[in-house]
Amino acid sequence: MDGLLLARIQFALTIGYHFLFPSLTMGTAWVLVVLEGIAFFRKDTGVLRFARLLAKIFVITFAIGVGSGIIMSFQFGTNWSRFSVMVNDVIGSFLLPEVVFAFFLESTFMGIYVFGRGRVPKPLHWVSIIMVALGVTMSAFWILSANSWMHTPAGYALSHGKIVLTDFWTAVINHTTIIRFLHTFDSSLVYSAFFLLGMLSWMLLKGKDADVARKLFGGALLFALITSVVQVFPFGHSSIVSVERHQKAKFATLEAVSRSTNELGLILFGVPSPNPPYTLWKIEFPGIMNPLLGTNNTYTITGLDAIPADNRPPLVLTFITFHLMVYLGGLFIAAALLGFILQRLKKLESFPPLLWFFVFGIPLPMVAIEAGWITTEVGRQPWIIQDILRTRDAVTVIAPGEVLFSIILIGALELLFLALYITLVVRTIRKGPEAGNGEAKNG
Amino acid sequence: MDSLAVVWFVLEAVFLAFYAVLDGFDLGVGTLFAFAKTEEEKRTWLGSIGPVWNGNEVWAIGAVGTLLAVFPPVYAALLSTLYVPVYLVLASLIIRAVAIEYRTSLRDGFVKSLLDVGIVGGSGFVAFALGFAGGNILHGLPFNGNLAPQGSFLALFHPLSVIGGLASLAFFCLHGASWLVVKTEGETQKRAKRFVKVLRVAFPALLLVTAVTSAFAVDSSLLHGVPGKPGFWIPAVLAVAALGLSIGFSLTEKPLFSFIANGATVAALVALGACILFPAMLPSSLPGIAALTVANSAVSHTALTVNLITATIGVPFVIAYTVFSYFLFRGKATDGHY
């Protein structure tokens, strides 16, 4: 195998693995801010017991997220050195604030949050989880700003084959930063909402601290409903509109648009194929794409026929992951809505199938998130920086054996720790909140 | 040369020094964890670093992030040339992070003892690798004019890198043992004092060997005129003085001062390394390849300015809440269970 392919495999595995964890901790940090706040201000020991249970999961998720994330900040140098030399003038000025404003904040206050329970004053303990939440959120902002810049570069100039920063804020808030941040942040809220629903459902089904679960269920359902609705509209919708505006090849690929047209339907179902006509057994809602994109029917949507073959992303994977994400997004809204209605009618507990769905559906938002990221990253290929630098020109010239060694080393380790992580999370959820008034014995 | 680039070179050294001073002791505690006996003792040791080690480690990301953001060619050449050791360090960091956080959630058994081995191995390897990398940087690394690595992994092993690695391992253990003397009491503290007793001899001896080896092994372009530079003598004298104080304070049973003097020692050693390098940052060990320097590696003036604004706003806050967190968890360590 060649070094480029191996480097891409390594990057895909490590980033895909890493994001399993921050995608949960970002939303959960804010959930804990609310729960710890309720426990503190209302002196609610039941909620505190539950918060401590969630905090346990939060801690083990955070730890593995930090561990797997450190790799990323070295990988640009080990495997993508030509990328680093060419663009760090811009990218570096987004990543440094991530370290200085976010990583230190979250790590330091995480120590206070975890070890400070029962040892530092309660208001300070609550502030510490707020600081952690701010840290993880800022971290997401800066890394998404860097990622967005690679999709829609702005605020730069080319000089002697290198990219130099000309306008910091234009580069940071490039065409897609805000919408990507909102879409990603909300995806994490959806994940944490369904995680919460899964845990609470288990408590109801098994009668573990069921009163607390009952008290929190309504709020959790409302949270899940709101976050999963806004995830589709406006955030998902705006994302796709911005892809159509700024990354024609990606849009044509994920919707399998074979020919440029001003009369495009929305594909409800189809089996993708790498060759024209790109979709088999297609079921579509005809003629709706222009209105959906907010354009009139004289606007031409670019098709794959207008894009040179060596500028097209891989179609099958992009198409599948995109539609998987969309279907799951619909499922989340449906489940949250059904739960919300049943809860209003006080019929929730007499309908266990939904509760079981919430329990076993815990990983589904994570699947949707990973699918969405595969869509956006594979959809940018063959470019690492859209229309500026090709992925194949960004890689370090290095012995493939060393890359293979690193994949096996890190891969084996991450697999092992994933197994340990899942075991611990499942065990923690099954066990439920610990008895008592939720106060710490020894921090 | 852009004077902002020089400021950034100094900041890079400062971040590295912060890393060595702060994460240094928890790496040492992790390495010495091999000798922790009872479960209670293990928990106390980990409890002593538990609230702070994660924040300490971020200084490493700060130092690497600075190379990434300010000196991209150095970042690229350094990490791709040290490819295999870098991945071993990354593996060690993951193992360590997960092991420290997960062992409290596990019952005694095979997995838990495996994690304990992970804490020792992960911490010890990182402690060794820092000196190993330092030795390699001063010796020069095998990269060509396109910053592509040449030659095999084994070429990274030479007297300076290996002895440097052993010296840093000894230092971090000393630093960790001193921390344990400060943070524990009773039987545990007695044992920590015994570690200090051995290490306060072992580390100076290894440091001396490293210094002698350096005279022969450091890249010749760096050594040109070095002995005359005040930038060489001042940090060297400070390092020796701080080390002397550390030993003196530990002999006179002033553990906190001894611990602080350790920190000063390693900070002075980092400064010494930086002064020997300057204005170069990374010499190539291949013939005819010019060193990467502060001048030829720094990003544009605009990016230097933006990054400096970031650091000026952010770092004071970092220092403030780091101090605050150490203050909160002052006093003797307790059981690390949460």
**Maximum mean pLDDT: which of A327-336, B30-39, B55-64:** A327-336
Residue B225 has what pLDDT?
A: 60
Nearest-CA neighbor of A251 among A178, A300, A181, A198?
Answer: A300
Q: Which of B101, B147, B334 sits opposite A85 (nearest CB)?
A: B147
B70 to A92: CB separation less than 8 angstroms, yes or no: yes
Residue B222 has what pLDDT?
A: 75
- pLDDT at residue A441 above 50? no
On whether the CB atoms of residues A26 and A140 are closer than 8 A, the answer is yes
In angstroms, the Cα distances linking A385 to A148, A165, A187 are: 10, 15, 24
B15 to chain A: closest CA residue: A100
- Measured between CA atoms, how close is A196 to chain B, in angstroms? 21
- pLDDT at residue B337 above 80? no
A70 to B77: CB separation less than 8 angstroms, yes or no: no
Nearest-CA neighbor of A34 among A20, A54, A19?
Answer: A54
Show the tokens assigned to A177. Answer: 């930063």
CA angle in degrees (0–180, nearest 5) for A430-A434-A435: 130
Per residue in A97-144, pLDDT (tens digit) is 999 999 999 999 999 999 888 888 999 999 999 999 999 999 999 999
Nearest-CA neighbor of A157 among A68, A230, A232, A87?
Answer: A87
On whether the CB atoms of residues A193 and A27 are closer than 8 A, the answer is yes
How many other C-beta atoms lie within 10 A of the C-beta of residue B145? 10
- Measured between CA atoms, how close is B220 to chain A, in angstroms? 26
- pLDDT at residue A233 above 60? yes
Taking the C-alpha atoms of residue A117 and residue A48, their distance in angstroms, rounded to an integer, is 11
Strand bridging mode A383-385 / A279-285 = unpaired
- pLDDT at residue B151 above 80? no
Residues of A in contact with B19 (CB under 8 A): none
**Maximum mean pLDDT: which of A277-281, A399-403, B296-300:** B296-300
Residues of B in contact with A90 (CB under 8 A): 303
H-helix segments, A207-351: 210-230, 237-246, 248-254, 289-293, 315-344
B50 to A398: CB separation less than 8 angstroms, yes or no: no
Residue B154 has what pLDDT?
A: 86
Mean pLDDT of the A28-53 span = 94
Question: Which residues 280-319 of chain B have a CB within 8 Å of chain A?
Answer: 299-300, 302-303, 306-307, 310-311, 313-315, 317-318
Residue A281 has what pLDDT?
A: 87
Q: Which of A64, A98, A99 sits opposite B98 (nearest CB)?
A: A64
- Measured between CA atoms, how close is A393 to chain B, in angstroms? 13
Residue A443 has what pLDDT?
A: 35
User: Chain A within 8 Å of B111 (Cβ-Cβ)?
Assistant: yes
Looking at every residue in chain A, the average pLDDT score rounds to 91
Q: Binning pLDDT at 50, 70 and 90, where does residue A321 land?
A: very high
Taking the C-alpha atoms of residue B276 and residue B226, their distance in angstroms, rounded to an integer, is 7
Mean pLDDT of the A266-277 span = 86
- pLDDT at residue B32 above 50? yes
Residues of A in contact with B69 (CB under 8 A): 88, 92-93, 95-96
On whether the CB atoms of residues A70 and B59 are closer than 8 A, the answer is no
Which run of H or E residues covers position A268?
strand A266-272
- pLDDT at residue A208 above 80? yes
B300 to A164: CB separation less than 8 angstroms, yes or no: yes
Residue A260, classed as helix, strand or coil, is: coil
- Mapped to the 3 state alphabet, what secondary structure does chain B carry? CCHHHHHHHHHHHHHHHHHHHHHHHHHHHHHHHHHCCCHHHHHHHHHHHCCCHHHHHHHHHHHHHHHHHHCHHHHHHHHHHCHHHHHHHHHHHHHHHHHHHHHHHCCCCHHHHHHHHHHHHHHHHHHHHHHHHHHHHHHCECECCCCCECCCHHHHCCHHHHHHHHHHHHHHHHHHHHHHHHHCCHHHHHHHHHHHHHHHHHHHHHHHHHHHHHHHHCCHHHHCCHHHCHHHHHHHHHHHHHHHHHHHHHHCCCHHHHHHHHHHHHHHHHHHHHHHHCCEEECECCCCCCCEEHHHHCCCHHHHHHHHHHHHHHHHHHHHHHHHHHHHCCCCCCCCCC
Looking at every residue in chain B, the average pLDDT score rounds to 90
Range scoring the smallest mean pLDDT among A116-120, A424-428, B199-203: A116-120
Q: Facing residues of B284 across strands?
A: B141
CA terminus-to-terminus distance, chain B:
52
CA angle in degrees (0–180, nearest 5) for A76-A79-A82: 75
CA angle in degrees (0–180, nearest 5) for B314-A117-A216: 100
- pLDDT at residue B315 above 50? yes
Show the tokens assigned to B164. Answer: 């440097």
- pLDDT at residue B319 above 50? yes
Per residue in A234-257, pLDDT (tens digit) is 999 999 999 999 999 999 999 888
B312 to chain A: closest CA residue: A100
How many other C-beta atoms lie within 10 A of the C-beta of residue A307? 17
Q: Binning pLDDT at 50, 70 and 90, where does residue A401 land?
A: confident
Show the tokens assigned to B118. Answer: 């992970």
Residues of A in contact with B78 (CB under 8 A): 77
A110 to B54: CB separation less than 8 angstroms, yes or no: yes
Q: Which of A74, A100, A397 sits opposite B90 (nearest CB)?
A: A74
- pLDDT at residue B29 above 90? yes
Residue B229 has what pLDDT?
A: 73
Instruction: Please say whether the dihedral angle defined by the alpha carbons of residues A405, A407, A408 and A413, taken in this order, is positive or negative.
Output: positive
Per residue in B88-100, pLDDT (tens digit) is 999 999 999 999 9
Taking the C-alpha atoms of residue A410 and residue A163, their distance in angstroms, rounded to an integer, is 32
What size, in residues, is chain A? 443
A169 burial (CB, 10 Å; 0-12 / 13-18 / 19+) is exposed
Q: What is the largest CA-CA distance in chain A?
A: 69
Residue A437 has what pLDDT?
A: 58
Mean pLDDT of the A178-188 span = 96
- pLDDT at residue B230 above 60? yes
Which run of H or E residues covers position A280?
strand A279-285
Residue B228 has what pLDDT?
A: 65
- Measured between CA atoms, how close is B322 to chain A, in angstroms? 7
Task: List domains and CATH numbers for chain B.
Answer: 3-328 (1.20.1630.10)
